Structure 1
Amino acid sequence: MQYQSTILASREYTFSQMLRESVPMCGGLFVPCELPRIDQAFLAKLKPLSVQDRAAVIVKLFAPELSESQINLICQTAFDPMRFQSDLIYEIKPLNPYLMNPLFLFVEHGPTSCYTDITHAFSLACLQTVIKEDEKWYIVAGESIQSIKSLVALNSGDSGWEPVLIADSKAVNNYILREIQHIQNNVNENVDRLMLYTINGKVQSVEYFPQNLFYQEKLRLELKEQNKYLAAVGSLAFTHYLALLIILLSAYLDLLNKELISDGEDFDLAFPNLNLDFLYVGQLMQKMGLPVSNLIAASNNNRTMVDFLHKGKNKAKRKFSRTNTPALDRIYFLNLERVLFEITDYDCQMTCQIMNDLFRAERINLTPEIKQRISGLVYSGYANNNQTVEQIRDWYIKTDYLFDPYTALTLFVLERFEQNISKANKTILPVIESPLLSAQVSAEAIFAQENIVKRNYNRLLEELSQESGVAIPLAALSAEQKPEVVNLDIDKMNERIQADLFKTGFN
């Protein structure tokens, strides 16, 4: 198994080399040169195994040069039940015996009650196999507030790396800052100081900023001279998707064991669009031979990816609003070029050209052939704020289960999809975070308006928890203090972060 950049096929990397470079300095993102095929015999071998042992077998496919002990350490560390709020790393099930579809995949059992707890833990466990004793690593998280929270929760202060936390200033407020500080106070006793970089600038430029750090070859080479290195968690890192692939494949095996899905039976995958995370993993699963029939992607009313997936067009200059699903409030999607790489059948030149068009002309117009491939790949739709709240309310009345707004939005789009087909498959739907991370939205859905207005945030959390039976997540609670914040315009932030990286005692 070898890896390459999405825009350059001439150089290949082992899994370990990919980990050390994290994001290719030459541009693009890391992808496998080819994918392993999975057959029924392989699945039968995995069925009786634990999650950790299944993960080890899958990791071996993608990292053949790693030793058995290295792979086992990765899987035991990343999927250690002690990291999670229950003995289950994930859980897949129908909500009750009368609603057998969709099949909900709960992946929000980690310390901050979000799926990035799992993916970040896996990426860092992989990275630990290549970190040398005398090296200093800086781990960049910048695609969402929740990604930042997950990384803070994993920072023990003695692991050989430090976080570089980057956010759009418009996405940060005092509540969020105190929530981040609360996580550090409760999880990271060895960390004395936390810094958050908040950037002022055009939405797309701010979204691209963390990725662009990795393309600054001069910076990275000069850091290397000081034995310092950059690595990414989240959508920039291929290990993020390998973790999701492991969880989805393991969940599928659980469904087979429970006889909720038959061997070889087609199933669908419905998901919130995020950074095209689940769309890309769905592509990988299809190409590896798993019976994934339909991919159903849900967006909010910013509709950036809906327009792209429906029309093959994407404009950087577009109307943009903040919604009750903020992780979807994006114009630029970090993982777009991996999706394009798969759609174009590994065509580096075409992938590079499309991405260049997006950044230089600030728009994409795909060829009719590629548009047709996209339309055949995924069904996409969107829900606005009111429709999302109504879904939360309807499902709470129907099932007594409180869903987060991302799951509600996906359920809305899934219902529209099922109205247009003659026969619905079983559908796996990831539940990516606790509903109490969106307490205001949850309260709007299930409480009378006058009860919301009269309550402060902490009281609202308590009442939501009492009403729904959902425990208050660590990431929803606030400290009295806030982390140190460096707020600069985008043209000055790059210089500031570089200067801080070269300091001996950064963070």
Structure 2
Amino acid sequence: MKYTSTRDGSVETDGASAVIDGISADGGLYVPVALPKLDYTEFLGLDYIKRADKVLRAFFDFDVSGVAQDAYGTFDTDEPAPVVKLDDRLFVLELWHGKTHAFKDMALSVLPRLLVRAKAEKSVASKTLVLVATSGDTGKAALEGFKDVDGTEVCVFYPTDGVSRVQKLAMQTQAGDNVRAVGITGNFDDAQTAVKTAFRDDRLKTALGENNITMSSANSINIGRLVPQIAYYYSTYCDLVDAGEIKAGDKIDFIVPTGNFGNILAGWYALKMGLPINKLVCASNRNNVLTDFIKTGEYDVNREFYKTESPSMDILISSNLERLIYETSGRDATKTAERYAELKATGRFSVSEDEIDAIRETFACDYADDDDTEQAIADMFDEYGYLIDTHTAAAYAVAMRRELVRPTVVVSTANPYKFAPAVLRALGEPAQGEATADTLRELEDMTAMDVPQSLADVFDLPVRFDDVVAPDRISDYILRGYGK
């Protein structure tokens, strides 16, 4: 398996190098030169770990044996990604049974192990500084995943006023000798742009090199982060077949809450690899740049940014869309580079009618505002006695507007307790302000869903990291912290 860059077709590298580098030197994202084909019938009857192992082996030709076992053995259930049946046509895929109770654990429990194996494959002795921009959940999952991993440092940047209190405390109180969490005074897009810029900062790379440190990424711009997510689409489909809910070959729909587009792009890869998916429905919140793109073919981030009750989706610049743009352009790296240069210069670009028509063959879209998500939480709990968070609620709100003509899977991305005040308000309780330990216990008393102990504990742990920097000072911060 070889990889190339979305912005430079002359690039060709192997999987180990792609994982180590995180991002191509030209600023593009690594993509497979050709996607592997995986026959889903070979996944039937297997457990999740064996299915994930098959996916990893299809993409990486270095030693990945035992990676899935080690990663998912840390989860709080025997089944890392259970599928819950609500009715004959509606199912929920729970992706929040990892250590940090969010779907990011599905990949960020794998990536540190992949990175260690990749460095061994390439005989890389330098220390790796893993830089992360987060809208909330990726940061904690990366900190937990890379905690005390030999040969690594991890530094997470998050919008200091753009995450929930539970998310912030989870990062600020993180244990580990090689971790650091830093607030920024902007939003997630500012953090993401600054981190991408750091990867291309020659002054920073030189200073880190003098300290025997190279940079990599734990965001889904890293192909090693994206590939593990393909497994849960295969596993969901096979679970439905194994349970007799569908017949092998039947097509199903997925409704995916997404801001950075990685979660849903993994489903597109699964489809192209042979999984019988009918539609991938992109569910946005009020920051609905992705919805507008799929509807119009114009990607325009020149719009008001909203802080919503689903903060992990408060994103305008969706990194993984670049991989889809590249694929639907006919894998034209020059055109993709031009479009992203235009985005940087003007805040917008558009694709051709043929390209957006091709995208719409697979993708549908809609969005939900805060009122919609609150109503969806209440409706789901009233109808099924099933509790969801504010991000899953965006997907459920979108699902309820659609005619469910075939089995439909709502992808659930976070434990409801991570956003307890908003969930309580949706259920009619006057929860105001930020979460406290009492807020979580109140939700537990009301719903009988157990509070994860690690979430309850964050209110009592000492804050280790309280630095806040401006986005344009991120490179300087990294230089002071890790440079020579």
TM-score band w.r.t. shorter chain: over 0.9
Secondary structure at the residue paired with 2:64? helix
Change (3 A) 1:359 1:200: same
Contact (CA 8 Å) 1:392, 1:445: kept in 2 or not? yes
Change (3 A) 1:369 1:217: farther
Shift of 1:385: 0.6
- Structure 1: unaligned runs, 5 residues or longer: none
Shift of 1:176: 4.6
2:429 matched residue in structure 1: 448
Amino acid of the residue matched to residue 472 of structure 1? V
Correspondence 1:140 to 2:131: yes
Q: How does 1:69-468 map to 2 (within 5 A)?
A: 70-80=63-73, 83-95=74-86, 99-132=87-120, 134-171=125-162, 176-182=167-173, 184=174, 188=175, 191=176, 195-201=180-186, 204-220=189-205, 222-418=207-403, 424-449=405-430, 452=431, 457-468=436-447
1:59-108 Cα shifts (integer Å, max 9, x gaps)? 221113x2xxx32222222222xx1112221101313xxx1222211110
Secondary structure at the residue paired with 1:236? coil
Distance between the aligned counterparts of 1:365 and 1:399, measured in 2? Answer: 42
Shift of 1:392: 0.4
Shift of 1:487: 2.1
Distance between the aligned counterparts of 1:334 and 1:479, measured in 2? Answer: 35
Shift of 1:192: 5.1
Query: TM-score normalized by structure 2?
Result: 0.92
Distance between the aligned counterparts of 2:167 and 2:10, measured in 1? Answer: 44
1:92-126 Cα shifts (integer Å, max 9, x gaps)? 1313xxx1222211110011110111211111111
Shift of 1:469: 2.5
Shift of 1:164: 0.6
Secondary structure at the residue paired with 2:45? coil
Q: How does 1:43-58 map to 2 (within 5 A)?
A: 43-58=40-55
Secondary structure at the residue paired with 1:110? coil
Secondary structure at the residue paired with 1:31? strand
Secondary structure at the residue paired with 1:178? helix
Shift of 1:193: 7.9
Change (3 A) 1:333 1:112: same
1:231-266 Cα shifts (integer Å, max 9, x gaps)? 211321112221111122122222211121211111
2:57 matched residue in structure 1: 60
Q: How does 1:466-485 map to 2 (within 5 A)?
A: 466-473=445-452, 474-475=454-455, 477-485=458-466
- Structure 2: unaligned runs, 5 residues or longer: none
Contact (CA 8 Å) 1:279, 1:297: kept in 2 or not? yes
Correspondence 1:488 to 2:478: no
Change (3 A) 1:8 1:18: same
Change (3 A) 1:489 1:339: same
Contact (CA 8 Å) 1:168, 1:207: kept in 2 or not? no
Shift of 1:406: 1.2
Q: Which stretch shifts more, 390-399 or 347-356?
A: 347-356
1:13-67 Cα shifts (integer Å, max 9, x gaps)? 11111122111112210110111123xxx33333233322222222221113x2x
Shift of 1:457: 2.3
Distance between the aligned counterparts of 1:14 and 1:56, measured in 2? Answer: 19
Distance between the aligned counterparts of 1:175 and 1:108, measured in 2? Answer: 15
1:157-181 Cα shifts (integer Å, max 9, x gaps)? 2532121111123325766543324
Change (3 A) 1:26 1:369: same
Amino acid of the residue matched to residue 165 of structure 1? V
> Which one has the bigger helix percentage?
1
Query: TM-score normalized by structure 1?
Result: 0.88
Secondary structure at the residue paired with 2:220? helix
Shift of 1:432: 0.9
Change (3 A) 1:251 1:500: same
Q: Considering only aligned residues, what root-mean-square deviation do their CA atoms show, in Å?
A: 2.3
Share of identical aligned residues, percent?
23
Secondary structure at the residue paired with 2:78? coil
Change (3 A) 1:202 1:155: closer
Amino acid of the residue matched to residue 118 of structure 2? V
1:12 matched residue in structure 2: 12
Change (3 A) 1:77 1:148: same
Secondary structure at the residue paired with 1:71? coil
Amino acid of the residue matched to residue 406 of structure 2? N
Secondary structure at the residue paired with 1:85? coil
Change (3 A) 1:176 1:328: closer
Amino acid of the residue matched to residue 406 of structure 1? H
Contact (CA 8 Å) 1:279, 1:295: kept in 2 or not? yes
